[in-house]
Chains A and B, each alone.
Chain A
Amino acid sequence: MKTMSLAIAGLILYSLGQQAAAAPEGRSFFAFDPWVLAFSLVTVVATVYMGFRSAGQSKSASDMMVAGRSVSVGMNASAISGEYLSAASFMGIASLVMLNGYDGLWYPVCFACGYLFLLLFIAGPLRRFGAYTIPDFAEGRFDSPTFRKIAVVFVLFIGFYYTMPQMKGAGIVFMHIFPGMGDWGYPIGVIIVGGVITLNVALGGMKGITLVQAFQYWLKMFAISVPAFVLMAWFGSYNGNLAINQTAPEVRAGVVAATVIARPEKAPADATWISPFGPMTTKAAKAANLPPEDQKFYGLIYTYSFIFALVCGTAGLPHILVRFYTNPDGVSAKKTTMWVMILIGIFYIFTPVYGVMGRNILPELYGLKSYAGTEGVVLSLPAQVPWVGPILSGITSAGAFAAFMSTFSGLLVSMTGAMAHDVYGKILRPSATAEQKMVAFKISAVAIGIISVGLGMLVKELNIAFMVGQAFAVAACSYFPLLFLSVWWRNITMPGAATGMLAGGLLCLITMTAKNLPDLKILPAAATADLTAFWNANPLLAILCEQPAIWAMPLSMILMIVVSKLTASQIPANIQHKMLVLHAPEKLGFRNEEYDEPSPQAH
């Protein structure tokens, strides 16, 4: 613990040293908006209080990892929604809609609709199998400790990828709360939020964060909806603001025309912004100078691949899937999923409102860097309302705090579970006692928390939704095919599953990285220019590499099927029992004895 404390202190000093030169002149370092600070502090204090209060109830490894499998439908649906609505949902979608218009709408739609696939094909059977973690499922389904190791690597990889944008969200909000800190606010925000959540998870585990996440969903719902209604009352309705954006220069009734000002050059034109196949989906085709009709066709391909990545990726996110193990049975897991879709669907109707109104009311954000501009539109826009603006801005800041805190909590539990349960408890020390596993959980939580904070420092310049999209694509090409075929096809074998998962996940990662290398600006200038020229000359290849799910996910499934056919001798001996455990109603009495526990009462 002493080493970890020193590491945290070192990280803080390093960050302060790095940012020292960036403090804006002529403004007090600790200048802050009192409303924004007050609402954000209340969120943090409430989070910590509830986490500590629940922590006292976590007595066993089952409590820490699956909340004793006793979470009710309503509570779990709120907690899953709270965990799922991350910084990308709360801040990133509004930014994407503001930047890309119609194309940005695919993000919330697919984020929400992915749960339908989860409901239809995975949630119930996965819960019935009764594991603690997704790697547990991977080993239990194939009787293969080797496969557990592969699954753990993917849990950690997807988890860290998803953690980075949450950390960035923390930094941006802190900069908003303490404008006097300038760029200092970013690392300080990352460290404070990372530290608070790490402490919560280390003390309370899954049981500790369930109540916190449920509370945070309702806080986020309040924080996105109430300011949106006030904004619409003051600046005109959602559809009224959208109606301004058309080819004819016309302002509809109900919209305050004086608020609509000239947009900077970086802002997309009305017709491009409001129509499908806009800047986001036709970027590669435009770079290749293709004719407009061809640009639309390439935009269509991009859109389909994007849909596959987000819908199937949602159904393959380990930190979301693990929450279904906290339900008492398969039926309650299904009911939970349906309620999650309703809760997050209502939330996602509101987020594009900020993007649409931000385009009309705060167009100057187009001209700023993303972390200071459009990615903060949810925080900046409410401040434009006279008199109550600071209060509304405080409310959305509190919502943003809740967004990255709840998602980071879930990710931390998922990754910590993988380290403590799968790596320590199953691979390194299978004979460890329950107490030793509890200690391993707490140490893992702190270690992963520190790594997450460190990673958060590195991604200030990257786009929040871009990073989240990458995590979804990897999940869609690795975990989704694995879970779908493992649940519904009895003849899948471990070599087949591993080949498909590794090939799909790694190819997805490699091609996305290759496509994005020029944007990351880590190569020498000449190499960056050559690579950019290559992608510009090959727009179809650029699209298929930036959004690889359309080919990598089917490839992963085909490999799983073909290799399984070739290794049919390795189908687990007791496959009939395993499939009955997955599909038979609990009342018929098929149970996975390894995780067998008395049936708990939901709370």
Chain B
Amino acid sequence: MSSPSTPSQQPVPHKVPDSEARDAFLYRLMANQLRLSVSCGAAFLIILLAMPALNYFAADLMATRVFGFTLSWFILGVLIYPIVWVISFVFIRRSIAMEEEESHWTLPK
């Protein structure tokens, strides 16, 4: 971090190799976690945001009856919950595995 100091703050220490190593460590840590979060979030958003679009552009298809429900009602009222559970389960498993691996990374002091 190369922010200049202000009177109300502690002076920012000059970057030393150790700090740079920690920056790289932090970057790798956050990039790994964010990649996983964004991919799971994107999967969820595609499903969720596709629903109104399908209702608008494919109204007849979404009005098809499935066990007495309309297809649209069946997805939103029943199916969406198990889909979200699967996404969160995948996230949790990978996230915990990733944290376990990160815990063994060599920590720059």
A263 close to B (CB within 8 Å): no
- Tell me, in angstroms, the Cα distance from A121 to B19 when the chains sit together: 26
Separation of A576 and B69 alpha carbons in the complex (Å): 53
Instruction: Return the contact of A113 from the options B44, B69, B96, B107 (Cβ within 8 A).
Output: B44
Nearest-Cβ distance from residue A307 to partner chain B, whole angstroms: 7
What size tier do the contact residues of chain B reach?
Answer: 35 or more
Across the interface, B68 reaches (CB within 8 A) one of A113, A120, A237, A342, namely A237
A349 to B29, CA, bound (A): 37
Residue A119 at the B interface, CB < 8 A? yes
SS of B interface (majority): helix
Q: CB-nearest residue of chain A relative to B73?
A: A102
Q: Which of A348, A572, A588 has the most CB of B within 10 A?
A: A588
Question: Which residue in chain A gives the minimum CB-CB distance to B85?
Answer: A342
Give the CA-CA distance A584 to B65 in the complex, in Å.
49
Q: Tell me whether A68 is interfacial, beta carbon within 8 Å.
A: no
Q: With an 8 A cutoff between CB atoms, is A150 at the interface?
A: no
In the bound complex, do residue A121 and residue B92 qualify as a contact, i.e. CB atoms below 8 Å apart?
Answer: no
Residues 15-37 (chain B) with a chain A CB within 8 angstroms: 19, 22-23, 26, 29-30, 33-34, 37
Whether B41 contacts A346 by the Cβ 8 Å rule is no
- Residue interface mask B52-70, A partner, CB < 8 A = 1: 1101100100110101111
Are the CB atoms of A337 and B52 closer together than 8 Å? Answer: no
A591 within 8 A of partner (CB): no
| A304 contacts B102, C-beta separation under 8 Å | no
Contact with A along B73-86 (1 / 0, CB 8 A): 10011101110110
Instruction: Kindly identify which residue among A120, A307, A568, A572 contacts B40, using a CB–CB cutoff of 8 Å.
Output: A120
Which chain A residues border B33 with CB–CB below 8 Å? 583
Whether A105 contacts B73 by the Cβ 8 Å rule is yes
Is the pair A274, B70 in contact by a Cβ cutoff of 8 Å? yes
Residues of A within 8 A of B84 (CB): 112-113, 116, 341, 345
* Interface 0/1 of A116-154, CB less than 8 Å to B: 110111001000000000000000000100000000000
Distance, CA A576 to CA B18, complexed state (A): 12
A385 within 8 A of B: no
* Bound CA span A274–B29, Å: 47
Task: Kindly provide the distance from the CB of B100 to the nearest chain A CB, expressed in whole angstroms.
Answer: 8
Cβ–Cβ < 8 Å partners of B11 in chain A: 573
Residues of chain A within 8 A of B56, CB atoms compared = 276-277, 296-297, 300
With A106-B76, A124-B95 known as contacts, the answer to whether A300 contacts B52 (CB < 8 A) is yes
Could you tell me the distance between the alpha carbons of A106 and B77 in the complex, rounded to whole angstroms? 9
In the complex, A105→B30 CA distance in Å? 36
What is the bound-complex CA distance between A275 and B44, given in angstroms? 23
Q: A116 near B55 (CB under 8 angstroms)?
A: no
Minimal Cβ-Cβ distance residue in A for B83: A113
A573 and B5 contact, Cβ closer than 8 Å, known pairs A105-B77, A579-B26, A583-B30: yes
Q: In the complex, which residues of chain B have a beta carbon less than 8 angstroms from the beta carbon of A116?
A: 40-41, 44, 84, 87-88
* Cβ-defined contact, B40 with A579, below 8 A: no
Assuming A276-B55, A307-B49, A575-B1, is B37 touching A121 (CB within 8 A)? yes
- Residues of B near A540 (CB, < 8 A) are none
In the complex, chain B residues whose CB is within 8 Å of the CB of A345 = 81-82, 84-85
Instruction: Check B37 against A120 for contact (C-beta < 8 Å).
Output: yes
Contact present for B72 and A304 (CB under 8 Å): no
Known interface pairs A117-B41, A585-B102; A346-B81 also in contact (CB < 8 Å): yes
A239 and B95 within 8 A (CB): no
A579 to B24, CA, bound (A): 12
Assuming the A-B contacts A105-B73, A573-B11, A580-B22, are A304 and B52 also in contact, with contact meaning beta carbons closer than 8 angstroms in the complex? yes
Q: List residues of chain A with CB within 8 A of the CB of B99.
A: 330-331, 585
The reply to whether the CB of A240 lies closer than 8 angstroms to some CB of chain B is yes
Could you give, for residues 562-603 of chain A, a 1 whenever the CB lies within 8 Å of some chain B CB and a 0 otherwise? 000000111111111001100111011100000000000000
Q: In the docked arrangement, what's the CA distance between A116 and B91, Å?
A: 10
Choose among B1, B89, B95 the residue that contacts A576 (Cβ–Cβ < 8 A). Answer: B1
Q: Is A429 an interface residue, CB under 8 A from the partner? A: no
- For the complex, give the distance between the alpha carbons of A331 and B63 in Å: 42
**CB of A338 within 8 Å of the partner chain:** yes
Contacts of B59 in A (CB 8 A): 275-276
A237 CA to B69 CA in the complex, in Å?
Answer: 11
Q: Cβ of B100: which chain A residues have Cβ within 8 Å of it?
A: 585
CB contacts (< 8 Å) of A467 on chain B: these are none
**A276–B10 Cα gap in the complex (Å)?**
57
Give CA–CA (A297, B84) in the complex, Å. 27
The distance from the CB of A123 to the nearest CB of chain B, in whole angstroms, is 10
Q: Is A59 an interface residue (CB 8 A)?
A: no
In the docked arrangement, what's the CA distance between A572 and B68, Å?
58
Given the interface pairs A304-B52, A583-B33, A588-B107, the reply to whether A341 lies near B88 with Cβ below 8 Å is yes
A53 at the interface (CB under 8 A from B): no
Q: Among the listed A113, A237, A252, A276, which residue makes an inter-chain contact with B72, where contact means beta carbons less than 8 Å apart? A: A276
Q: Which residues of B contact A109 (CB under 8 A)?
A: 48, 76-77, 80
Minimum-distance CB pairs A-B, first 5: A239-B68, A345-B81, A243-B68, A276-B55, A587-B103
Known pairs A338-B89, A580-B29; list 13 more (Cβ under 8 Å). Answer: A102-B76, A112-B84, A113-B48, A115-B88, A116-B87, A242-B73, A243-B65, A275-B70, A334-B96, A346-B81, A575-B3, A585-B103, A588-B102
Q: Can you identify 20 A-B contacts, CB atoms within 8 angstroms?
A: A115-B88, A117-B41, A119-B88, A120-B41, A143-B9, A239-B69, A242-B73, A274-B73, A275-B72, A341-B85, A345-B81, A569-B3, A569-B4, A570-B6, A571-B1, A573-B11, A579-B30, A580-B26, A584-B102, A585-B102
